[in-house]
Amino acid sequence: MYPRLVNLIKKAIEDKKGDNVCVYNVKNKNPLCDYVIVCTALNGKNMNAIATSVEDTLEENDFKINHIEGRESNDWVLVDCDDAIIHIMSQSYRDYVKLDDLLKK
């Protein structure tokens, strides 16, 4: 069972058709956050819609957004909200970076 924050993020991603949502618990591996969430977007427009959905959902539920990086990108947008970092990627960039492989270790 995930904490409320993660469930809100997953729903916000899925509401905007984010695909292949993976949640990694990194509490014991990373001092910066507890969870890393990776998802795939269809294109740059969808990537921004997902980021906006996450941002709006978290703000509506009194969670803080520290920073959003890469809104102008068609490959990767990062949303930092303290206890979770969300990576929204194109499929080709996700395959290239292999972030999921690093987080599974």
pLDDT in tens, the chain (105 residues): 689 999 999 999 999 999 999 999 999 888 889 999 999 999 999 999 999 999 999 999 999 999 999 999 999 999 999 899 999 999 999 999 999 999 987
Q: Is the pTM of this model over 0.75?
A: yes
Q: Taking a C-beta distance cutoff of 8 angstroms, is the pair 83, 66 a contact?
A: no
For residue 43, give the nearest of 94, 89, 99 by alpha carbon: 89
Say what the pLDDT of residue 29 is: 86
* pLDDT confidence of residue 1: 65
Residues 6+ apart with CB under 8 A from 19: 39, 40, 41, 42
Note the pLDDT of residue 28.
87
